[in-house]
Structure 1
């Protein structure tokens, strides 16, 4: 007797693959509506297609293998993805910050969310290559000029689509400094490729951040797991703490715990 559930899954994945090939990419929320199935079902389908090498998972969906490694979404596009997970991660990560410390925040929408939770931390020094992160602290100072503002150091560099400053100018500035804590975002992470990004220059800037930090904290939601960008910039073993959300599957959490020193599931 034909296993109908397997047949339906194969048919559904074939439809998803056709969409990826036709449009270059798909989003999870679109597929749930089109195929009338749950978010988790679509994510399992994308996981299966990614394992088969048919697609590459990206934040919020999947793209063709050719597009995945070089596609860098803009800041606004990334901000709309997993906002509640990012908020949970930011709250948990903010608890790791001690008043009077020197911290670094890399570019990214999760580090941007984290910055909003740090504006009231006393005597903080913040180094960042994110224009958006620097704007968070500047706006907080404009709203409450009577509150002592953190010292914010914005690196120079060339601006990326996600509003991060990268390149030799940023790298030199970062390598001349030392941080107690680095909060690091990533385009994707996997046991094989480690942390990766589509942007070659951003990869080098992230390496400089890691080299200058006493402790590296990855802030990345569960959808980043299994995504691989063009350039790897760190191994999972380079990460001291990974703060993520409870959407991370149990098998992925077990794999992560075998590599990173500490895994924090925010919201649990």
Structure 2
């Protein structure tokens, strides 16, 4: 079967969906008929046909009254959301698309430590674009969630998405100055064996466990503690723990740089940094080279450089 034959909705049903949207908005066939310049019986007939074709009861009928069923309410809110999105896109096209909403999805640590503190610069440059920030550790379904672009940290992006390189990353151990003094860590990585290690167990798409620490220790021939320490599902949480003297975190240089500059953290082993195999990249749905998306990606690359 062709894609068109597989669709649950066809052109005839889409035309009836407009009648349904008006009737659902008013929850009245009579008021819908007045808005559509039809008779109430014509509205009722169209809704009956739509229900039969979809195999879903959209309205519960009683004497001189109709009400959306639970299924009808779901269809209505989905239709309303789709129409709002379509209307916004048409407005964006008319306004050269440098206005309207832009929904950005990011790993929580990237958003908290790197992206969010810079957003004021973007909004000053593009005041007509309204940003919505979403975060999570999973690969988001951009089509169903309305996400326009996503920022990931991994070795390779999902194959079905268009993507652009954003920036490299390197890792290095960091801790509070107090913790370093207490455990004699300055230029003494062998003393790590007596410390609590802090790490991001979901540093990339698969469960990374202690991979970051193990990779760094192998590179610099450092003996690790027998305990795996404390694991988090976000890199920024391990950094907060390190600031509060809980242990030594494996920090991502891009995300901890400002903390290092402010003296909240120190890198007790100096230049012992390991370049990550993973990198940051921006992903979008193929074919969405829209001006507002391009503007945000261009701004991200400028800030990354």
Given the two structures, how large is their TM-score scaled by the length of structure 1? 0.31
Higher RCO structure (Cα 8 Å, ≥6 apart):
2
Larger Rg: 2
Given the two structures, how large is their TM-score scaled by the length of structure 2? 0.28
